[in-house]
């Protein structure tokens, strides 16, 4: 199924686009995203997603403009044509034991 990614920061620079359309398996989840991106874009994204600068668990994930918490909601599945935005941690403040709302 098709999903749309909106990228910022290191990921955008590494991949070279602000927006990309991707084909992913049905029932793909937020947690599958690092592997999906590494399979397609290789090492140039691996070092960011698993490195110190912008590790995946620090990113802010929006699906259709709504926040999903990492790691609590890694198993959230995508739907056809979802717009997934991956933002670096720019402001906000993360703390405490995460409760989903």
Partner 1 sequence: MYKGAYTGKTLWVDLTHLKFWVEKTDPELARLYLGGAGFGIKLLYDLVPQGTDPLGPDNVLICAPGPLSGTNAPCSSRLTITGRSPLTGAVGMSTSGGEFPAAMKQAGYDIFIIKGKSEKPVYLQVAGDKVVIRPAEKLWGMNTVDTQLFIKEDLGDLNYRIACIGQPGEKLSLMAAIMNERRASARKGLGAVMGSKNLKAVAVLATGELDIADPDRYKKAHRDLLARFKNSRTLYKGLAKYGTSDAVDVTYALGIFPAKNFSDTGNFGPMEKIGYERMAEDIIRRNPCYKCPVGCSQVRIAREGDYPGVLTEGPEFEASFSLAGATGVDDLSALYLADRLCDDYGLDNMSVGVTIAFAMELYEKGIISKEDTDGLDLRFGNHKAMIEMIHKIAMRTGFGDVLADGSVKAAERIGKNSEYYAMHVKKLELPGYDVRGAKAHGLNYMTSYTGADHNRGYSAQEIFGGSIPKRVNRFDLDGKAELCMWNQVVETVLCDCSTFCSFLFSNADSFLDPSVEQGISHELTERRIATVTEMLASATGIEFSPAEIFRIGERVNVLARSFNIREGITRKDDYLPKRMAEEGIPGGPSAGAKTSKEDQDFLLDEYYDVFGYNPDGIPKLQRLKDLNLEDVAKDFVSLGFIKI
What is the binding site for partner 1 (CB under 8 A)? 6, 8-9, 12, 18, 58, 60, 62, 64-67, 69, 83, 85, 87-101
- The nearer residue to partner 1, 16 or 35, going by C-beta atoms, is 16
What pairing do the DSSP bridges indicate for beta strands 2-7 and 19-23?
antiparallel
- 39 or 93: whose CB is closer to partner 1? 93
Report the alpha-carbon distance of residue 75 to residue 45 in Å, rounded: 21
CB-nearer residue toward partner 1: 35 or 64: 64
Closest approach of partner 1 to the CB of residue 84, in Å:
11
Distance CA 32, CA 39 (A): 11
Taking only Cα atoms into account, the Rg of the chain, rounded to an integer number of angstroms, comes to 13
Phi, psi of 31 (to 5 degrees): -65, -20
CB of 15 to partner 1, least distance (A): 14
């Amino acid at each position: 199924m098709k999903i749309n990614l909106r990228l910022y920061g290191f990921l955008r620079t590494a991949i070279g686009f602000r927006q990309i359309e991707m084909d992913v398996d049905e029932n793909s989840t937020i947690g599958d995203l690092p592997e999906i991106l590494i399979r397609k874009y290789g090492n140039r994204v691996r070092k960011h997603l698993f490195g110190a600068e912008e590790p995946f668990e620090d990113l802010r994930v929006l699906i259709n403009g709504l926040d999903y918490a990492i790691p609590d909601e890694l198993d959230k599945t995508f739907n056809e044509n979802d717009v997934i935005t991956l933002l670096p941690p720019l402001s906000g403040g993360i703390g405490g034991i995460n409760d989903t709302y």
